[in-house]
Every structure is written in structure tokens, then in C-alpha cells.
Chain A
């Protein structure tokens, strides 16, 4: 074992290398690693937050959906009610209209009947005379029986 100046040379080299490492290597790499660690931690936190947000959003969507369904049901119900009402109203109107038409028709019919009666009444004497003339031929005194026929016509 011959100890010599190498021991001093190595010591100097050692110190120089350690100083270079301390100044130019270690801080840069550890700083980058710490930064990355922070970034990853932030990323994970953000992901956590996002999944929580998603959960909330899903919850909210479910709520909205339920509300919408309820609303739709209520709208449907009221629409049905309204439709029934309208149908009811229409039925009522139709019935009234029908009644009115029937009444008018009856009035007209009555009028027609009256008119026909009137006509008949005015012609009955002539008809009767014609009939009687046919039956009796000239046995009938027209002027004597005129009053009697008129009385009959009036009783019709």
C-alpha cells in the first residue's frame, strides 16, 4: 500500500464533483420532481372534484327529469279535463241546437197543417158539392143546401 499524492488528488476531485453536483444537478432535478408531484396531486384533486361534480350533475338531472315528468303529467291531466269540458259543452250546444231545430220544424209543420186545413176548408164546399152533385145528380137544390154545407165546412 503506497499512499501518495493520489489521495490528495482524489480528495480535490471528490469535493469538486460534489460541489458541481450540488450546484448544477441536484436542485434542478429535485425541483422538477417536486413540481411534478404537485402537478399530479393537483390533477388528482381536480379529478376528484370533477367526479363529485358529475355526481351532483347527475343528481340534478334526475331531479329535473322527475319535475318534468310531474309537470307533464299535470299538463296532460288538465288538458284531458279541458277536453272533456269542451266535449261536454259541445254536447250541450248540440242538444240545444237540436231542440231548437225540432221546435222550429214542429212550428213549421203546424203552420203547414194549418195552411193545408185552410186550403182544404176553402175547397171542401166545392168538393162536397161536386161529390153530392155526382151522387144526387140534380136532386139537390144548390141554394137551399148551401147553408147546410157551409155549416159542415165550418165545423171541420
Chain B
């Protein structure tokens, strides 16, 4: 936060840009160097990072949710419009665009996922376009949306982050949703027993006869430990990869933005840097959206894959 009446220091500027508009349950107490006093425990908008950490888990990032839902809605409206206009005749304009994306997703899904599912392709489409749109917010100059929000809110210290994918809650939320979908489909395809078997009988095949059978529980425990780590690493890596890339990108944009106030020459230099990084970032945001989608498809394919048979027939 900036000191009242003074321009924010660089550190404050950066911190301000990396803080979410948070609404949460704040325990009673005095916060923000005594400037904010919460008389009774209750739900309120946080005024400073100290309040945010006091809120703990009982808080929600309004800006992240707002943009995530808005962008998701834009995606759905665009594609729903395409769906309502879709016909077997000659496609034109926006329908062409929508169909090109659908075809691209369909091809990617068919390449990596050989099972029959009505769910996976729409899942992949949603992830790709939605994540891409959320990442795209990164290309909007860093000050525009927060400044606009501050003007609308009438508070120059208003916290507002415009890029939802620089919020780990958003990326991990999607990562863990994919994780639960994986488990759900795994159980649906293989049964609960099959799923447990998959976790405990791989990668080492436990001995089933002879004196070695005593070792079977040990092997199972080792298998379970290894497989659990593998399984849990998937949603976390999925979420953190996206978050890390976008957070780093956003960070660089903010650092470049701090140079704008430092004289004409440095400002021009910053402009060139900003342009260069934005151009490079176009690749990053597309690639990250694509990677998230492809990994999700691959994980879904793993969930549908039942290798019970080939494990026990040899």
C-alpha cells in the first residue's frame, strides 16, 4: 500500500499489483498499522495484505472470480452463438473461426484419447479457450484495468488483479478439478477395485506364490507410496506450471512498467521492452493453454486406460 498523499515506491507499486481484491471472514482486531479496525468477526473486503493473511482460507478473490467468470462467459457466448448458427452449408465469418478451433481441439483429442467419451472433448475445448482468454488478460497493459477499477471504486488503493491465471487459486482449482475427474473416470472405468489395484500393483508386481508372498505387503506399500506421489503430482504440476509461467510474465510486465516513470529515455526503452515481451508472451500464453489442455487429455486417457489384462496375462 502506498503511504497517504505520496506516490508509491517501486516495491509498493509491485506489491499492489500482485494483491488480489479479497473478500473474506476477518476475525476481530486491529490491522494495517492501526488504520483498519474490525470490531466483530465478520465478512468484509480486505484493506491490506495483513487482513488477507488473517482471513486465511475463508476468503475469496473477487477479481479473479470476476474475470474468470466473465471470460468463461465470453467463451460460452461466442461458441454458443456458433452452435446456434451451425449448419451444414458454407460457413462464414465467426462460424469459421469457431469451427476451426473446434476442429483443432477435436483432432488433438482424437490423437491422444482413443476412448469413447462425450465429456473429454468439451472439457478440452473449455480448458483451451478459457485458459487462453484468461492468459490473454496478461497482454493488457498492467495499469489499465487496475486503474480503471480504482476509479470506479473511488479508492486509489483499490486492489485489483486482472489476470486470473496469475492467481494460484484459479490454476490449482482447475488442476484439482481435473484430478477429481481423473479419479472419478478411473473408478467408473475400472471399478473401485481396479483403481486401487492400479495404485498398489504398479510399478512393482507383488509376488503371488512361494515364500516371496511374505514380501507382498511391503511391495504394495512401496507401490502405493510411489503411485500416490505420481497421481498427486499431476494436478499440482498442472496448476503450478500455468501459474508460474503467467506469474513470471506478469511480474516482468510490472517491472517494465516501473521504468515508465523514470525519465524519457528509460521510458522509451521500457516501451520497446514491453512490446518485445508482449510479442514473446503471445507464444507463452497460447502454449500454456495448449499444454494444460493436452495434459488434461492425456490424464483422461490414463484414467480410461485399463491395463489390468496385460498386467496379469504374461
In whole angstroms, what is the CA distance A30 to B177 when docked? Answer: 25
State whether B106 touches A30 (Cβ < 8 A): yes
State whether A18 touches B24 (Cβ < 8 A): no
State whether B122 touches A6 (Cβ < 8 A): no
- A144 touches B (CB below 8 Å): no
In whole angstroms, what is the CA distance A26 to B60 when docked? Answer: 31
State whether B102 touches A36 (Cβ < 8 A): no
- A114 touches B (CB below 8 Å): no
Contact of A9 among B75, B86, B89, B173 (CB under 8 A): B173
In whole angstroms, what is the CA distance A31 to B83 when docked? Answer: 10
State whether A26 touches B102 (Cβ < 8 A): yes
| Segment of B123-131, B187-195, B251-259 engaged in the interface with chain A | B123-131
List B contacts of A36 (CB < 8 A): 87-89, 91
Determine the residue in chain A with the shortest Cβ distance to B89: A36
What residues make up the interface of B, taking CB atoms closer than 8 Å to A?
Answer: 22, 24, 52-53, 55-61, 64-65, 68-69, 72, 75-76, 79-80, 82-84, 86-89, 91, 98-99, 102-103, 106, 118-119, 121-123, 125-126, 130, 167-170, 172-174, 176-177
State whether A11 touches B118 (Cβ < 8 A): no
In whole angstroms, what is the CA distance A30 to B102 when docked? Answer: 8
State whether B173 touches A14 (Cβ < 8 A): yes
In whole angstroms, what is the CA distance A8 to B57 when docked? Answer: 11
Contact of B102 among A6, A11, A29 (CB under 8 A): A29
State whether B59 touches A5 (Cβ < 8 A): yes
Contact of B83 among A2, A11, A14, A24 (CB under 8 A): A24
Determine the residue in chain A with the shortest Cβ distance to B118: A22
- A119 touches B (CB below 8 Å): no
List B contacts of A28 (CB < 8 A): 83-84, 86
CB distance from A46 to the nearest CB of B (A): 15
State whether B119 touches A10 (Cβ < 8 A): no
State whether A24 touches B72 (Cβ < 8 A): no
Q: Which of A1-51 contact B (CB under 8 A)?
A: 1-11, 13-15, 17-18, 20-22, 24-33, 35-36, 38-39
Give 7 new A-B contacts, CB below 8 A, not counting A10-B169, A15-B177, A26-B121. Answer: A3-B172, A4-B24, A4-B56, A21-B123, A21-B125, A30-B102, A33-B102
State whether A7 touches B122 (Cβ < 8 A): no
State whether A6 touches B58 (Cβ < 8 A): no
State whether B60 touches A6 (Cβ < 8 A): yes
State whether B98 touches A29 (Cβ < 8 A): yes
State whether A7 touches B79 (Cβ < 8 A): no
State whether A2 touches B123 (Cβ < 8 A): no
List B contacts of A1 (CB < 8 A): 168
List B contacts of A24 (CB < 8 A): 76, 80, 83
State whether A29 touches B177 (Cβ < 8 A): no
The residue in A13, A24, A29, A36 that gathers the most chain B C-beta atoms within 10 A of its C-beta is A29
Contact with B along A46-75 (1 / 0, CB 8 A): 000000000000000000000000000000
List B contacts of A33 (CB < 8 A): 86, 99, 102-103
Across chains A and B, which 3 residue pairs bring their CB atoms closest together, nearest first?
Answer: A10-B173, A6-B169, A32-B86
The residue in B58, B76, B87 that gathers the most chain A C-beta atoms within 10 A of its C-beta is B76
Contact of B169 among A7, A32, A39 (CB under 8 A): A7
State whether B88 touches A18 (Cβ < 8 A): no
26 residue pairs bridging A and B, Cβ less than 8 Å apart: A1-B168, A2-B53, A3-B57, A4-B56, A5-B59, A6-B65, A6-B173, A7-B169, A13-B68, A13-B72, A14-B173, A17-B130, A21-B79, A24-B80, A25-B80, A26-B121, A26-B125, A28-B83, A28-B84, A29-B86, A30-B106, A30-B121, A32-B88, A33-B103, A36-B89, A38-B88
List B contacts of A18 (CB < 8 A): 119, 122-123, 126
The residue in A2, A3, A22, A28 that gathers the most chain B C-beta atoms within 10 A of its C-beta is A2
